[in-house]
Amino acid sequence: MVDLGINKLEEILMPFGYKQDLTQSMPIFWKNIQQNDLRSPYAFSLVIITLDQFTVCIEGLNEPRLKRAISAGIIEINSPEDVDALKEVVFETTLDNYKKIETVLPFFEEQLFVIANEPIYTKLYKKALENIELLIEAANEVEY
């Protein structure tokens, strides 16, 4: 079996509109999602996918919600580690198990599309948030 590398990950992510940043210590792919939900941490406005020596990880962050919390004095950001602690891990797997990302990513992208395009009060929108929350719960429980 072939391990997931930068070229394979790029092939998987580019059709979904991810941009690549190779200026960091590890390859990073990212994408912004236009949304206006300040209530849910799962209504991501930024998705970051990192590739390190052993794993690939998908994380999300609701930046408008975070900015509101900072403005209100609810949280304080003093370092990049503070921001990292606020990201939600959506999916993580080892490089030799990359077929899982090919299964999870299209489903996750469908949920992001709903968040970007549906009003926040619709059943479809609420279901998309529930589905993202389930992915996060599964990511936090799985040992690989």
Q: How far is CA 53 from CA 20, 90, 131, 139, in A?
A: 17, 19, 29, 19
Per the rule left: phi > 0, alpha: psi between -120 and 50, beta: everything else, 72 is: alpha
Model pLDDT for residues 70-115, shown as the tens digit of each residue:
889 888 888 878 888 889 999 998 877 778 888 899 999 999 999 9
Q: What pTM, to 2 d.p., does this model score?
A: 0.89
Amino acid at 96: D
Q: What are phi and psi of 139, to 5 degrees?
A: -65, -35
Element (H, E) at 110: helix 99-117
pLDDT-derived band at 1, boundaries 50, 70, 90: very low
Model pLDDT for residues 8-30, shown as the tens digit of each residue:
888 899 999 999 987 888 889 99
Region 48-62 average pLDDT: 91
